Amino acid sequence: MTQLQCGSATDVGKVRTVNEDRFLVGDSLFAVADGLGGHQAGEVASKTAVETLGSSFTDHTTQGLIDAVLKANHAVWQLATDNPDLQGMATTMTAAALVEEDDEQRLALVNVGDSRAYLLQHGELEQITEDHSLVEQLVREGRLTSEEAAVHPQRSIITRALGLDPDVEVDSWQLIPYTGDRLLLCSDGLTNEVDDEDIASTLRRVDDPARAARDLVEQARAHGGNDNITVVVVDVVDDDGRAEAASAALAKDETATATTTTAEPESDAPSGSATRAKAATAERPPSMQTGVMRRVPPATPPAPRGITWRVIAFAVALVVVLLVVIASLGWYARKTYYVGLSGSQVAIFKGRPGGLLWFEPTVEQRSELRVADVLPGRVPDLKAGHSESSLANAQRYVTRLRQEAAARRAVPPSPPPTPPGAAPGSTTPP
């Protein structure tokens, strides 16, 4: 059985008066949620999402974790719909769970919003999740650098969160847990104040996960503490021999190679001791993400043997794999919709904002709305492309924009100010 050990810490920070972050720490389920919305609605959103996630995660698979997040999204959205005081509230959600996939234990990760998950493996820190924020989308499109994004005035605008709509797209990953791996879940109150290098240094230096979480929170406070700060650290303390099996398999391969290619001179050391020493220090295979295992290539590739039926079979299989990959990319690039601008006109596009490789988005529907009709606060979202999971959701978003524009037009202009000393309703002589 894979065994996990965790630690957590949260703090309101130095600026805010209410902590709208919430976290969940269980035997096999961990989560961080960062609430959004005024009048403490963000606190309600994050609390509702975390509680729903905990009660809904009964199917211990990756899909079961995704389904639990979808239920949390619907719970937040329904609560906001039923209560006018909570309308507009939302929350981020980053969660990890120990799941069973193909008779093997794995760590499933899910994310909606700009809270993050990192993996520290072999001393190297890797950000697993991608922020669903306006500036990070611009960084991915090459329109901003990471340095520019860090100080951008719109860096707080997120493009996806729980509770904004009845449906939401959930990103997911799978990791194979190895002893010594360390997982970090955190709200942006940490990552906005402490850079990745300092986070990695702390995670390498502090062994106890609870103390590491507290240390990271204190660093965020020391750097300004401009937001709520929440950190959950999860350690893999036992992988049920998975790492040893991987090292043994690697050692066996190295021993077989040494036996067939080199005649070693005799020595006083026991046979195979050098090979075992190598195996003991060899790196374990890295984690698996989105179902793809990344393996370390052999140090010395075998010499080419010319064209054989095996080479032909491999080439055919490679072509098939490439075709499948291209088809999968096409499906991924075209499965969603977004609301954006076609010139100065609001339109619904099929595809992903900015396109994906050579799969460009196409206009699905045009509306009568012009960018001048839209509320100013909505314009950046439209310029970046507001993603929706279906055409119906995109149409509802356009309807919402149209209703906002109509409401703004219905507000009468303010009357001119009355000159001092003049009676109300009187006119000033020319």
Residue found by looking up tokens 């374990």 in the block: 284
Please give the DSSP secondary-structure letter assigned to residue 350. Answer: E
pLDDT for position 222: 97
Per-residue confidence band for 151, with pLDDT thresholds at 50, 70 and 90: low
What pLDDT is attached to residue 285?
Answer: 38
pLDDT in tens, 354-382: 777 767 888 888 988 888 888 888 889 88
- CB neighbourhood size of 315 (10 A): 11
pLDDT recorded at residue 296: 32
- Specify the DSSP class assigned to residue 295: -
Cα dihedral 295, 297, 298, 303 sign: positive
- As a whole number of angstroms, the distance between CA 346 and CA 338 comes to 11
**More confident position, 420 or 36:** 36
Nearest to 45 by CA among 162, 157, 130: 162
Averaged pLDDT, 7-12: 98
**Is the confidence at residue 196, as pLDDT, over 90?**
yes
What is the pLDDT averaged over residues 315-323?
87
pLDDT over threshold 70, residue 288: no
Interatomic CA distance for residues 12 and 177, integer angstroms:
32
Terminal-to-terminal C-alpha distance of the chain: 90
* CB-count exposure of residue 228 (10 Å: 0-12, 13-18, 19+): buried
pLDDT tens digits, one per residue of 114-143: 999 999 999 999 999 999 988 777 777 777
Q: Give the residue with greater pLDDT, 349 vs 241.
A: 349
Q: What average pLDDT score do residues 156-180 get?
A: 93
Residues comprising the chain, all counted: 430
Q: Which CATH architecture has domain 3-238?
A: 4-Layer Sandwich (3.60)
Tell which wins on pLDDT, 201 or 417. Answer: 201
* Segment among 53-57, 325-329, 415-419 with least mean pLDDT: 415-419
Residue 258: pLDDT band with limits 50, 70, 90: very low
Domain boundaries, the chain: 3-238, 334-410
